[in-house]
Structure 1
């Protein structure tokens, strides 16, 4: 048995499903606080082979289990659910294989066309390259390759069988899809292995320690107790072991110091991530790439605007720095002047303290001081007014720049709509009509010469083209008027044709009525012929009966009245001959009349040839009439 407990120790069908052992599968690998981290158990492949029970057949609920030496059924062969015989799916797999080989630096040259039907040598080279990504020291065996490749795939866990015979003709249409499916599965394995190898932090606790905690004494003791208890209940017929699992799980949590709060937090985080994945899958129907491209273009436009604004701010910053440098120089000069004035004041104060002044000197000094103070005050006011004027000018300049930028942006937007911007646009004709945000005098003059003259020329061309199109429009309008008049004439012709058709329909209806009357006449004649026929048959029948009676009388008086009987027989034969002759003459007359009617029908066929359905009915009627006449 494996050292790592599985979710069920019996492969027999369970009477009650149990999903609680999935937490026990995540065996901790660190005694400090590993249960506080998100331990992800190794996912079982959805294409893994299903094995039958090792313990053989079991009995009903509550009964004892059989011995563990039951028959072992080998692995069931699984059918590949992938549509490997679908051409679109095969082309997608070939494209995926080609992209993977190109990304991983395949030494040979591969293309989608070459992978439609590769040779055995190319397949072995590709297989060796992909397998070397899993095991760098791998080398393709030189002998019995057709046996080694299926064996290696089976050892890796490939769930579908790859026959030995398919290795001999790997590029055949019936064998290449299976081999291609194996390569795609191998590529997925390489990607999964690379992803797990890149996530080293997830398994850092495993690689840091050389020993496995599952070999510890405490863990082995708990595991053996759990196995013993569950196996005893299993042999007694139990399928679930909830109490043992809870006890085992609690002991493991105590042994490894489980942080359930952190584990619950990680589970909530996993649920949130799964909801995010489902939302992204639901949003997969929308064209996210187009949205991202649109957002990219919008962000690029914003970035360009920010860069232009940054250049403007840098230029403004440079101007302000220059002004600040000038003001700093003026301030330094004012400070130096102030320092000189302080020194002069100190000197004058020293002189005032150590010398005697006359009242006139003091008055003069006070007057000069007042004058100097007024001068300083006026200079300060002038400086403030100058600074306010400079600030107003800068504000007006920034507003003017913003207005100019709006105008330039509107101009560039209109130019893009008219396909004049950029220089490679459809209507630009190689001219650069775009205005950029640099406002030097030379650039403004350059824009005037660069944009105004080509635009004037284009406006002249557009006016010429408009005039030409106006002329074309007028000619087309005249043509439309002519076509309308033609349509009116044709409508009149159609009305005349409809009137002719109506007249023909009336004539046809009249002819049909005449034919119906003639048919009634023919039906009356047929009825009279039938009546005459019946009368003749009745007369013949009566004559036969009389002849039979006379024959009986003649037989009784044979020898006496032989001559009289012969005479009567001759009279009867003559009468019958007359009757049949008259009947034949009548039939000939009827047949002649029918032939005349057929000739009339032939003439009428030329008139009503377009109406095939009616002609068919008339022909059937005539044929029936002829059959009846012939039957008479």
Structure 2
């Protein structure tokens, strides 16, 4: 059991309901999963009458299941369901192996590139390093490694066969994926047993330290009893475990002192909360969000309007404050004038009280008083008219000032557009043509002397340049007229060329029609050739089949001929001496004949030289004749 991964390896479809999983997870479990990544094969079809166990023979319906803890071995060899011939899967396994070796501190240098096709020596080092993680006292055998490694994997419970011949060429493309799959399985086993070593004892009843119920001995004991009972019944052919599930739940309730009333109330509360959540989810959250966004935009628009209105009010307030200041000054002056008038009135009243007036004086004073009142009234009217006139003049002045500012801004804009402003502009020539917001008489006079004279000079230069460009324009217009006349001539030539092209197109169309007719003829010939080709292919296939039959017959006769040949070889070996003697005699005769032929060949060379001279004369005559014919 210490060398088997704790999982179900049966290839049969699981007919047990998923309620067992919920029962196993009825209480919180350890976060560290001790069951490593297992390569579980794909289940066979449920319609099959025979099901194959992961480590044993097939069983029929209701038969005994072979335990996964038994030794592997049987007449049937399991096929590895992993896609070991898939390049992507192989690269993933190589990356996983490389990361594991680097993480565990492999003594050698290992990279993904070096693991694409490792040598047998590298494979043995990697296998020894991983196996020592399972058994620290392990030492790699020095003899018959190709037999020991598959045997060790088989003892560990590796469910797939690793052939002995594959160990001789471990880095070959057809053998490395199987070896890589075995290393990945071994890595999973290392992770599994590493997790088991890190965990505490399964039953720690003798431990005096207090422990949590969820990870304590009582819970582990209940879980192990439940798994043992259900697995024993499962191996006997059972697929439902209702009694064991009910018993397990009752024991868990007793262990955790479950309050049924509290549990029921919590379930009702959970149901109410779920209904509330569903109701909230059914509400159109999107519409509410859109409404809120619309309201936000509307409030932002209102805020912008309020800010603009506030700015307007502040400007109006500033204007009113300025007017109030002016009115305060006027009121202060009026108060001072009123104070002076009161003093004058007091003085006059004192004089009036201290003096004695005659009726004539009183009449004269009244008359003067009326005249003074009329004068004051006329002066007030004049003052109002003057104030109205001053207000109108101020309004006109502000309008004129605004107009002047607009003109100055337009002037400055035009100056920048013409590259006259600033002073360092391209066309400024070092002059400052910019007008600033200063409207005093001296400034205006300065602007006239500063801007008008350079502008006049520049205008004179521009007029000269304009006249020069006008002359250039006239010359260019004459050139354009000449070019137009040339274009007219070229157009006439173009018309003639188009007429020629039309004729050529007609000729081309006629030639194309002729070519189409020829192509039709060629197509007919090609069809006939294709038909002839098919007939030939048919004859060739028939001949090929006949040749195959003859080959089979020849192969059957070959064995008979081999036996006859062996017998003839025995007879030939007896006569070999006579043949060699005859061959030696024949060789002497051949050498003699060769010498005679060499003498004859020397004579033939002399004859050939004479013939070559005659052939040269004939060649010269033929060349002369060809030249005469060509001249004719």
- 1:598 is aligned to 2:598: yes
Shift of 1:177: 1.7
Cα distance 1:381–1:505, how it changes in 2: closer, same or farther (>3 A)?
A: closer
Inter-partner Cα distance in structure 2 for 1:549 and 1:265: 88
Cα distance 1:487–1:386, how it changes in 2: closer, same or farther (>3 A)?
A: closer
Cα distance 1:139–1:25, how it changes in 2: closer, same or farther (>3 A)?
A: farther
Cα distance 1:338–1:484, how it changes in 2: closer, same or farther (>3 A)?
A: closer
Shift of 1:183: 1.7
Contact 1:32 1:256 in 2 (8 A): no
Cα distance 1:423–1:516, how it changes in 2: closer, same or farther (>3 A)?
A: closer
Shift of 1:182: 1.8
Could you list the per-position Cα deviations for residues 54-95 of structure 1 after superposition, in whole angstroms to 9, with x for gaps in the alignment? 999999999999999999995964433443334454445444
Cα distance 1:413–1:360, how it changes in 2: closer, same or farther (>3 A)?
A: same
Cα distance 1:307–1:40, how it changes in 2: closer, same or farther (>3 A)?
A: farther
Inter-partner Cα distance in structure 2 for 1:472 and 1:329: 69
Inter-partner Cα distance in structure 1 for 2:105 and 2:545: 119
Could you list the per-position Cα deviations for residues 451-472 of structure 1 after superposition, in whole angstroms to 9, with x for gaps in the alignment? 9999999999999999999999
Cα distance 1:103–1:503, how it changes in 2: closer, same or farther (>3 A)?
A: same
Inter-partner Cα distance in structure 2 for 1:598 and 1:232: 101
Inter-partner Cα distance in structure 2 for 1:236 and 1:578: 84
Cα distance 1:340–1:397, how it changes in 2: closer, same or farther (>3 A)?
A: closer
Inter-partner Cα distance in structure 1 for 2:558 and 2:41: 131
Shift of 1:393: 47
- Where in structure 2 are there 5+ consecutive unaligned residues? none
Could you list the per-position Cα deviations for residues 301-347 of structure 1 after superposition, in whole angstroms to 9, with x for gaps in the alignment? 99999999999999999999999999999999999999999999999
Inter-partner Cα distance in structure 2 for 1:554 and 1:172: 38
Inter-partner Cα distance in structure 1 for 2:544 and 2:37: 126
Contact 1:26 1:40 in 2 (8 A): no
Q: Secondary structure at the match of 1:590?
A: helix
Deviates more, 1:7-16 or 1:181-190: 7-16
Deviates more, 1:353-362 or 1:315-324: 353-362
Higher relative contact order (CA 8 A, sep 6+): 1
Could you list the per-position Cα deviations for residues 513-561 of structure 1 after superposition, in whole angstroms to 9, with x for gaps in the alignment? 9999999999999999999999999999999999999999999999999
Shift of 1:489: 13
Cα distance 1:612–1:101, how it changes in 2: closer, same or farther (>3 A)?
A: farther
Cα distance 1:579–1:7, how it changes in 2: closer, same or farther (>3 A)?
A: closer
Q: Secondary structure at the match of 1:214?
A: coil
Inter-partner Cα distance in structure 2 for 1:148 and 1:616: 85
Contact 1:4 1:27 in 2 (8 A): no
- Where in structure 1 are there 5+ consecutive unaligned residues? none
Inter-partner Cα distance in structure 2 for 1:122 and 1:541: 52
TM-score (structure 1 length as normaliser)? 0.33
Contact 1:106 1:129 in 2 (8 A): yes
Q: In the alignment, what sits opposite 1:268? A: 268
Contact 1:554 1:561 in 2 (8 A): no
Could you list the per-position Cα deviations for residues 15-35 of structure 1 after superposition, in whole angstroms to 9, with x for gaps in the alignment? 774642663599999999999
Deviates more, 1:553-562 or 1:59-68: 553-562
Contact 2:8 2:68 in 1 (8 A): no
Shift of 1:180: 1.7
Cα distance 1:315–1:352, how it changes in 2: closer, same or farther (>3 A)?
A: same
Contact 1:56 1:72 in 2 (8 A): yes
Deviates more, 1:357-366 or 1:76-85: 357-366
Shift of 1:176: 1.4
Shift of 1:193: 4.8
Shift of 1:249: 2.9
Contact 1:53 1:72 in 2 (8 A): no
Could you list the per-position Cα deviations for residues 588-620 of structure 1 after superposition, in whole angstroms to 9, with x for gaps in the alignment? 999999999999999999999999999999999
Deviates more, 1:619-628 or 1:177-186: 619-628
Contact 1:54 1:70 in 2 (8 A): no
Shift of 1:175: 1.0
Q: In the alignment, what sits opposite 2:26? A: 26
Contact 1:24 1:249 in 2 (8 A): no
Cα distance 1:378–1:427, how it changes in 2: closer, same or farther (>3 A)?
A: same
Inter-partner Cα distance in structure 2 for 1:560 and 1:233: 65
TM-score (structure 2 length as normaliser)? 0.33
Inter-partner Cα distance in structure 2 for 1:209 and 1:238: 40
Q: Secondary structure at the match of 1:505?
A: helix
Deviates more, 1:26-35 or 1:313-322: 313-322
Could you list the per-position Cα deviations for residues 417-474 of structure 1 after superposition, in whole angstroms to 9, with x for gaps in the alignment? 9999999999999999999999999999999999999999999999999999999999
Shift of 1:195: 5.9
Q: In the alignment, what sits opposite 1:474? A: 474
Deviates more, 1:612-621 or 1:523-532: 612-621
Q: In the alignment, what sits opposite 1:407? A: 407
Q: What is the aligned length?
A: 632
